[in-house]
Chain A
Amino acid sequence: MTQNLRVKSSEFIDETNRISFKFDGKTYYGFKGDTLASALIANNVHLVGRSFKYHRPRGIMTCGSEEPNAIVQVNPNSNITEPNARATEIEIYEGLEASSQNCWPSVHFDIGGINNFLAPLFPAGFYYKTFMWPKSFWEKYEFFIRHSAGLGKSPNTRDPDIYDHRNIHCDVLVVGAGISGILAAKNAAKNNFKTLLLDENNELGGSTIFETNEDNKINHNSASEWLKKEIYELKNIKNLEIKSRTSVAAYHQYNYLLARENLTDHLNKKDKKNKIRQRLLKIRAKKVILATGALERPLIFNNNDRPGIMLSSAIKKYSNFYGVACGTRNIFFTNNDSAYESALSLHNKGIKVEAIIDIRENSDAKIIKKINDAGIKIYWSHTIVDTRGYKRLSGVSIMKLSNDGTSVTGSKISISCDCLGIAGGWTPAVHLYTQSGSKLTFDEDRKIFIPKTDTKEQISVGSCGGDFELDRIITNLNYKLKNFLNIDKTDFEDIALENDHETSKRNIWLLPSDRSIGKTKSFVDYQNDATAKDIKLALREGFRSIEHVKRYTTTGMGTDQGKLGNMHALGIIADTAGVKMGELGTTTFRPPYTPLTFGTIVGRNVGEFFDTFRRTPMNDWHIKNKAEFENVGQWKRPWYYPKEDETMHQAVQRESKAARQSAGILDASTLGKIDIQGSDASEFLNRVYTNAWSKLAIGKCRYGLMLNEDGMVYDDGVTTRLGENHYIMTTTTGGAANVLGKLEDYLQTEWPELDVYLTSVTDHFATASLCGPNSKKILNKIIPDLDLSDDNFPHMSFKEVLIDKIKCRVMRISFTGELSYEINAPASYGEAIWQKCIEAGKEFNITPYGTETMHLLRAEKGFIIVGQDTDGTMTPIDLQMDWIVSKKKYDFIGKRSLYRSDTIKENRKQLVGLLTEDPNIVLEEGAQIVSELNQKPVEMLGHVTSSYFSPNLNKSIALAVVKDGKNMRGKKLFIPMENKNISVTVSNTIFFDEENKRINA
């Protein structure tokens, strides 16, 4: 039944450029400049979707981003399909495919439509009420509910498009390029403000640009002609950047705004290729002018949702801008004068208008006479009580309104039509204004929320500021701009304005019907099928807060965020509860104003750019030698180096043995390194570490434990005294940045009197850690001049040496319990030094090992890893590291907390070793520990923190934190797992070489 409803060529549509597209599998034609919605309407397709809950047939309702019904799936047969796109915003291009959502098997025959007839069974809160009982059944219900819920289909492969981010700084940002926005931007730019003008549509000019009302005149010309000239002149203004197809999504504090610029969505597939699809603009503006306009309100009456029922302003735009008639027999239903403009505009194009139904008693606007002259019947003081037509509107029934507007009287009149324009007045688009943190005020007389205040940084102009009529818009704009921009004169102070004024008002939030409310369906939120009845039910059930009613009824929770019906929901609540709307407040407007694609949000930060990562100077060597990598903070660290078919376990066992039997080498470059200098450096270390530092000799190293002020272990590492006033501190890999931050904090804020300077040198040095009984021989080959005897170079000391003329720092320190040397070379020589160690170590079968082996070797020695064996609740005492806590020092960070009533408790969780009864069973890290198996509820004593199979001991070992663990040595405990209980014995934390002999081996 394809029918061409193109009425008249439009200057905004390129009729020479015919475009084919598919909707629900069928091919249609439109023109360049059409949206999917206008092209479908031109083909007389109104039924485009089904509603969410009742699966009622729904048609296109609006012509903009506020569309609740015409939500479609773009490229439905592709893996990169896009759900929930608004047909009113999609510009058609050759090859576009789209389909209806939320219907099966098709939009014309939808099984879910049965919900419409079962509607009495689905009141507000239906799911909450029904599926709670019995409680245990929820899991069974959930499967079915989740399956039938949801709107579109998600794409299931990687998005192939390119997205981008751009930072913009400007003096003045103007949001919205309707008449107010254009004039504001023009004046700002001409007064030397660097200005950015954004509009979500592809054409500038807002609704004025297609205005045909002869009564609106500027300088004796029609307003649209005048504005077209102004727009033409914009191109020649310096300082002015204009972006169309750009929707502001969020307005944050301090004039920081996010906007989505749509670059290629309107292009055909060939032209899209290799171009950036959308760009997120991050705008910091000194001043913001909001000119976001107003959204037309629907009217809330029985069955107000049939395909063919549209906003009056949308019908006008479709005919004036797109050259498309929305119906062949039109009716308008209104509470204000604007529907008359739409009606006249259709009439003048030869489109039949059957009648206008007005809830007001009369109006003396000039346009009324023109309507009368056109022979269009006006029903004053009438309301629609019902509509007919399932998949397309076929007629309405009207009745006379009572004087108080709460009921209807007289006899029912039936009128046939295929399109109904509804005009419930205008809601200023204050979404962005409130997002910025500004407050609204309610204008009782006009029933609108308007901005309460303008500031030095932000103003609202035009209809979003509450000015709807041309003369008021321009006069107020002049006044506001002069103050805001601090200019003496604007460009348009002397223009002559003529326009009609609206004098008669009548607002009824919920229009009465001859049927009782229980038997009506008056939709407030079209997308979520929330009706006036649901809202009243919520109030009867005791909900009072607007935020609660919203969530209970799902009003305003669809993809359109209630742009159409939220005001009516508020009005109905206020009327029913007998409170004033101003006191009720509004629901919070949250960003984004219109949905953003994930692609736009992440921009280029996908794949390898998702997060920054750091590589050590030896990284290429690790890759060449087939290392598997592990992420540690932002670092890529070698995890283990599998040989041929080795599993991770086999590789780690081999590496661990080699490091103890002959020699191993670890890339330790990632450890944080902080250079500490200044005459108070020793005093500073005394204050930040638990142990004493003043007496550390130059050239010696010491292990330090750092606490938080709450006494809990924060970080650890070895610090070396390089000179009288010079230390180098190492931190954990993941903690480096935080430790530096914390130390800076104390230096700057608590101890500014200390002469200490901190510099992060993590990236300046590459570190190769040689370990094992043969490490001394290897080091000797590399640095033959250095006396490696224990006398000259004992454990915990440091030497500065030259290796091939490169100055290196060698520390004899050990995290494995083996004889061990750390060579720190300037980063750019890191790989060369590493290579040298490997060469020198060949005869000793030097084995590179990764983080996993390092963890295993240190666990054999019972050395903790901060963050693995500790979790921010462990004191040094809990870790059985009392030896490192100085008793003599008066103070250090966290000292006082070590004897708070809570930290001195005996039965805190403490670090212990665990040995499994069966030495082959390796415990799972994180597994819970209990002492009784038959007790209910069972007390969780703690958990396993580190667990490995030790190849050097040939048995399983584990570290764990256990309540009162200190007193449990030798006690048998259990680890209950899914299908077995594992018996363990509490042991010492040191499993290997308890006497520490190997360090000097």
Chain B
Amino acid sequence: MFLINCPYCGERDQQEFKAGGEAHIERPKQPTELSDDEWAEYLFMRKNIKGVQFERWNHAHGCRKWFNMARDTSNDEIKAIYKMGEKPPTQ
């Protein structure tokens, strides 16, 4: 059970949050211009890596805000939490 530092509310128990999959996948601005393959890339393809992964989380039972998290999937260490629209930490 993670202890997640919501950027708006502070540290809260994981059960207040919902995981929302990989972060930094922007919805294409002009979907109609995309080929089936390009659209499928956006729609279906997600990374599942062992190591630091960038994820979206939602404080669903709290402020309802979405934010990003850099989490090491091998040991569940939360490396960083940052707001939507912010750049991922480089390290």
Contact = CB atoms under 8 A, between A and B. Distances in A.
Contacts of A750: 26-27
Contacts of A709: 27, 43
B18 A741 contact: yes
Nearest to B34: A896
B76 interface: yes
A745 B66 contact: yes
B90 interface: no
A896 B31 contact: yes
Contacts of A143: none
A895 interface: yes
Question: Which of the listed residues B34, B43, B60 has the most CB atoms from chain A within 10 Å of its own CB?
Answer: B43
Contacts of B56: 749
A748 B84 contact: yes
A7 B65 CA distance: 67
Contacts of B31: 891, 895-896
A121 B3 CA distance: 53
What is the size category of the interface that chain B forms with chain A? 20 to 34
Interface in B8-46: 13, 18, 20, 26-28, 30-32, 34, 36, 39-40, 43
Given A284-B13, A895-B31, A901 B36 contact: yes
A897 interface: yes
A582 B82 CA distance: 40
Nearest to A439: B75
A729 B34 CA distance: 31
A431 to B, nearest CB: 18
Contacts of A437: 75-76
Given A253-B2, A284-B13, A437-B75, A744 B43 contact: no
B20 A745 contact: yes
A710 B31 CA distance: 12
Contacts of B27: 709, 750
A709 B44 CA distance: 10
Given A752-B84, A890-B32, A253 B1 contact: yes
A252 B64 CA distance: 25
Contacts, number: 54
Nearest to A747: B66
B84 A900 contact: no
Interface residues on A, range: 20 to 34
A254 B1 contact: yes
A896 B39 contact: yes
Nearest to B85: A752
Contacts of A891: 30-32
A744 B64 CA distance: 8
A614 to B, nearest CB: 16
A131 interface: no
B18 to A, nearest CB: 7
A220 to B, nearest CB: 46
Nearest to A257: B1
Contact of B3 (A256, A752, A897): A256
A741 B19 CA distance: 12
Interface in B37-74: 39-40, 43, 56, 58, 60, 64-66
Q: Residue among B1, B18, B40, B66 with the most chain A CB within 10 A?
A: B1
A816 B43 CA distance: 36
Interface string A760-795: 000000000000000000000000000000000000
A890 B84 CA distance: 26
Nearest to B56: A749
Contact of B1 (A252, A745, A752): A252
Interface string A738-754: 00010011001110100
Given A253-B1, A741-B18, A897 B84 contact: no
Nearest to B39: A896
Interface in A253-267: 253-256
Nearest to B31: A896
Interface string A233-261: 00000000000000000001111100000
B60 A254 contact: no
Contacts of A895: 31-32
Contacts of A745: 20, 58, 66
A256 B1 contact: yes
Contacts of A253: 1-2, 76
Contacts of A748: 65-66, 84
Contacts of A710: 43
A745 B85 CA distance: 13
Nearest to A900: B36
A265 to B, nearest CB: 27
Contact of A744 (B2, B40, B66): B66
B70 to A, nearest CB: 16
A741 B43 contact: no
Interface in A426-445: 437
Nearest to A708: B43
A776 B17 CA distance: 47
Contacts of B18: 741
A253 to B, nearest CB: 5
A895 B34 CA distance: 12
7 contacts: A256-B3, A437-B76, A709-B27, A741-B58, A896-B31, A897-B43, A900-B39
> 10 nearest interchain CB pairs?
A896-B31, A254-B3, A256-B1, A748-B66, A750-B27, A252-B1, A253-B76, A896-B39, A749-B66, A254-B2
Interface of A: 252-256, 284, 437, 709-710, 741, 744-745, 748-750, 752, 890-891, 895-897, 900-901
